[in-house]
Structure 1
Amino acid sequence: TNRDVFAFFMDKGWLSIQVFLLRQSTVIKREAALFPCYGTPEDELLSFIMQFYQEQNHILPKEILVPEGIDTELLAETLETTVRIPKRGNKKSMLDLATTNSELALNEKFLLIERSKHKTVGAIQELSEALGIAYIETIEAFDHSNIQGTNPVSAMVVYKDGKPERKAYRKYKIKTVEGSHEFATTQEVIRRRYTRLLREQKPLPDLILMDGGKIQVRAAKEVLEDELGLVIPVAGMVKDNKHRTASLLFNDELVELDPRSQAFHLVQRIQDEVHRFAITFHRQVRGKNSFSSQLDQVEGVGPKTRTKVLKHFKTMKRMREADLEEFQKLGIPLKVAENIKESFSSEVPK
């Protein structure tokens, strides 16, 4: 049987994922991913698997093996293939091996992080010199995410002295823009962020990075300078044909960074981080909106009932696992509760 094996290991807020692609009982390919984890590792792995097949053009196997804690019903329903949690035998051994590889990969990552800690200040100094700015203590970077203009969101990450300040990260649901409008979306987010900092009299960053080129930089500077009277350096992270930062657009000029320099690698880390943060947030918003939309189709569910269900259960998985009595405790009539359970129930494909 053609099957794919997914396993993970999490430590210190980082998630390591290993994928084994088995064909005719032989591992023909291995893939790996390492990134900061903002939710539970099980939810992150679930999202990763769905994206793995939907956005990377991987061929679905006849069977997928996953570790304990994964919503196999939802995964099987979404991907329309068999999903199993192996308990013993060769399948369990293969899953254990993938888990071990995940731990080894993450430990290697931590070693590299430790070795590079002393380089963060040097990276900031190099970047400051390249842009002609005094020491850049704080950087705030923004990225937008939407799929064909739906559920548009933005995200911001903060780096201080070359290190991520995850407690300062912010998420934004776009309120005033419909569809995919890069200029207007940038202006809304920049306006909301720095109007608030001024109102609360909090420190401003030394540099703003936009995950885009001229459009986003111009939009940000219009709000900062013309509306708010602020002079904060803004640079665009210009990408190459591999979607990696190749240079910075600063003061209408391209500033090339030496690919071997610490400044170059710092900017790439920031770009990867803000992009990952925005994509993760967008998946969460899209999932909640899908949940809400499906509830709207259930007979007897009005705005008040929908709000009760979303607020109490939060996820489809929790709602599927609840009994009718839990619905009734929310003041939902038995018949409506039965309609909801029936609408969201489905069998796992065999």
Structure 2
Amino acid sequence: MTAQEFQQQSHKIPVDPGIYKYYDKQDTLLYVGKAKSLRKRVSSYFSKTFTSYKTHELVQRIHRIEFTIVDSEQDAFLLENSLIKQFQPKYNINLKDDKTYPYIVLKKEPFPRVFLTRRKINDGSEYLGPFTSVARVRELLDFIRSNIPLRTCKLNLTDSNIQKGKFKVCLEYHLGNCKGPCEGFQTAEDYQDSLNQIKNVLKGNLNPVIQHFRQEMRAAAEQMQFEKAAVIHKKIEHLENYQAKSIVVSNRMMTADIFSILRDNDLAYVNYLMMENGSIVQTHTVQLEPHLDEQDEEILAFAIAQLRTTFNSLAAEIIVPFPINYDEAGVVITIPKGGDKKKLLELSEKNVNYFKEELFKKKILQLEGKDDMERKKVLYQLQDDLQLPEVPVHIECFDNSNFHGSYPVSAMVCFKDGVPSKKDYRHFNVKTVQGINDFATMKEAVYRRYKRLFEEKASFPQLVIIDGGKGQLGAALDAIEELGLQGRMTLVGLAKNEEELFFAGDQQSLKLPYNSESLKLIRRIRDEVHRFGITFHRNKRSQGTFKNELEQIKGIGKNTADQLLKEFRSVKRVKEAPETEVAKLIGAAKAKLITAHFKSPETTEPTAAEGDNSAS
């Protein structure tokens, strides 16, 4: 749907709050969004320039729009989250969390049993949770069973069966772990009191349980049952010790949900701490994939809605690091500046950082700090997996980088014995390539690197990784052939998305096992060359080393030039675009200036700054 087509029907869009749904030509749901004013929000997609390519792609694919009007922003918020969860549209934020969480179930039966389950079925039983950790649930159950007597048998304890004397007490009764309801030694009311205490323990509310046991201890002492009183006293001590371990910040009663967020390129991580009665009873971190140019505030609000629903939270206070638009009746949003709540937020931020680092460590292989045998073992495995003639003790990896399709640079990282050799890293300002040409840029970088090594009679790497597909690999091989260095090293191409490896001349790619040590090392090297290349490019831009040709046109300022680059992705595309398309974005007067500039015979293609800045 074009902006012009949208304008013809925009007057039909209601101004009320509600949700909107975008469909493509195949009638596939692409995106669900909420709005305070549907007309204003939907119109913004067709009237402004987006910095995100994904948002631009979404708008290009919209064929049909549906609306649902609701009474309030809060209703729109709840309906949006419900529809996203149900349909999981391609362009909505994706919460990567497919785990099955354990519950503690109070079975619907006479004298209910209490046990762990992962299956929540509609059988009338009461399910407490879910919980983020099976170990935590088992610890809770062990704690409960050691302090609150409950039956563990599967007997059908109906009143008639008990009255008929069908059952006899078992060893659990004689050990003091059960009060013997099977023989009528415990009433249903007393058993229900025990269940209520369990619910308090699971909510972190131990004070009522402790008070209950203190009353029992005093009653036993008054009746001269001192041994029984001593047993109850030990249970009280156990509960008080457990309570002391559970309190994180202070012993003041506090019930709240605490959330923090960490962005990392195209991913986001959100940590959730559930605090009840001064105790942290749940902690969980999730990974999210934003598919449009969502801000941190939008991502965090989405995650909060999803996590509070998943874990059945009814906390009336939510603690977050910055203001968010979150509409839920009776809920207060707090942005703490100090005190206990600030400490809780810092604890959440510590957890989310730890989660991200652990994911990174699992994904890549870090051999720093490992002994020589461990490093060699991985390199031997890589040699075997890639069928290399030599052990790859020296590996180099190349990658290209550019800014919105302009100003290309290249980077190379070097790993020796499986660890980075940063003194051998190199970056290259492109000198011989006009405009954007990934293949020619790769060829230039590879040629300059190994021409220098050949002239200096330095050692060559056993393995060279070209970050890109067959085209980039072919360009790199052309450089090696021009230098006459065939056979001196093995070159492989690494596909950016599928993590497939390509060898020269092979029709089929090689896919290493996802968790293999070899692939983890290759990922580590690839991520390092990305980091090094992007950092170099960012520094060059901040220093003003790159000259934007659009800014050299009289009457065109930096903001206009940046706007054009964001829309058309390169100076070349601006040059090739019809004047009418450019005018839609920046106005007719400025579009004429740009057209006149590029028609001038003196105009030349923009190039990156000269100089090699430690490149070889």
Give TM-score, length-normalised by structure 2: 0.33
Q: Which residue of 1 aligns with 2:294?
A: 58
Structure 2 counterpart of 1:336: none
Candidates 272, 283, 303, aligned match of 2:538: 283
1:136 aligns with 2:386: no
Deviations 1:95-152 (A, max 9, x none): 5225533664588577984799465422321222232422111110001111332121
Task: Name the counterpart of 1:306.
Answer: none
Query: What whole-Å deviation, never above 9, does each CA across 1:142-183 have from its counterpart, x for those lacking one?
Result: 011113321211111111222222222111222222332011
Q: In the TM superposition, what is the alpha-carbon distance from 1:289 to its structure 2 partner? A: 2.6
With over 3 angstroms needed to count, the CA separation of the structure-2 counterparts of 1:131 and 1:97, relative to structure 1, is same
Larger RCO: 1 or 2 (CA < 8 Å, sep 6+): 1
Residue 347 of structure 2: aligned partner: 97
Task: After TM superposition, list the pairs within 5 Å mapping 1:140-289 onto structure 2.
Answer: 140-231=396-487, 232-239=489-496, 243-253=497-507, 254-289=509-544
Whole-angstrom CA distance in 2 between matches of 1:272 and 1:92? 34
- Tell me how far 1:217 sits from its aligned partner: 1.5
The 8 Å contact of residues 380 and 391 in structure 2, kept in 1 or not, is answered as: yes
* Cα pair distance change 1:255/1:104, threshold 3 Å: closer
8 Å CA contact retained: 1:213, 1:236: yes
Larger strand share, 1 or 2: 1
Q: Which amino acid aligns with 2:390?
A: A
Deviation at 1:276, TM superposition (A): 2.4
C-alpha separation in 2, matches of 1:202 and 1:29: 48
Alignment match, 1:123: 378
CA distance in 2, matches of 1:216, 1:203: 24
Over 3 Å counting, the alpha-carbon distance change for 1:189 and 1:115 in structure 2 is: closer
Q: 1:146 to 1:99 in 2, by over 3 A?
A: same
C-alpha separation in 1, matches of 2:336 and 2:459: 52
Assess, with a 3 A threshold, how the Cα gap between structure 1 residues 97 and 201 changes in structure 2: closer, same or farther.
Answer: same
1:24-44 CA distance string (max 9 Å, x none): xxx997559xxxxxxxxxxxx
The equivalences for 1:283-302 within 5 A come to: 283-289=538-544
Identity of aligned residues (%): 33
Give the SS at the match of 2:293.
Answer: coil
Q: 2:285, 2:352 within 8 Å by CA — same for their partners in 1? A: no
Unaligned 5+ runs, structure 1: 9-16, 33-51, 65-84, 298-350
CA contact (8 A) 1:151 1:286 kept: no
CA distance in 1, matches of 2:547, 2:438: 27
Partner of 2:70: none
Output the amino acid matched with 1:235: V
Q: What code does the residue aligned with 1:59 have?
A: Q
- The one-letter code of the counterpart of 2:444 is E
Provide Cα deviations, 1:183-225, integer angstroms capped at 9, x if missing partner.
Answer: 1101110111111112222111111110112211211111112
Aligned residues of 2:466 and 2:494 also touching (Cα < 8 A): yes
- Report the alpha carbon displacement of residue 292 of structure 1 after superposing the two structures with TM: 7.6
Match of 1:308 in 2: none
What is the alpha-carbon distance in structure 1 between the residues aligned to residue 294 and residue 262 of structure 2?
17
Unaligned runs of 5+ in 2: 1-257, 273-282, 301-334, 553-616
Verify the 8 A CA contact 2:540 2:546 in the aligned structure 1: no
For these two proteins, the number of residue pairs brought into alignment is 242
Which residue does 2:61 correspond to in 1?
Answer: none
CA distance in 2, matches of 1:160, 1:21: 37
The answer to whether the Cα contact below 8 Å between 1:144 and 1:152 also exists between their aligned partners in 2 is yes
Structure 2: how far apart are the matches of 1:138 and 1:114? 14
Query: 1: distance between equivalents of 2:493 and 2:347?
Result: 42
Aligned-pair RMSD on alpha carbons? Answer: 4.4
Are the structure 2 counterparts of residues 120 and 106 from structure 1 closer, same or farther at C-alpha, using a change threshold of 3 Å? farther
Match of 1:14 in 2: none
Q: Structure 1 residue 88 and structure 2 residue 343: aligned?
A: no
Aligned residues of 1:7 and 1:98 also touching (Cα < 8 A): no
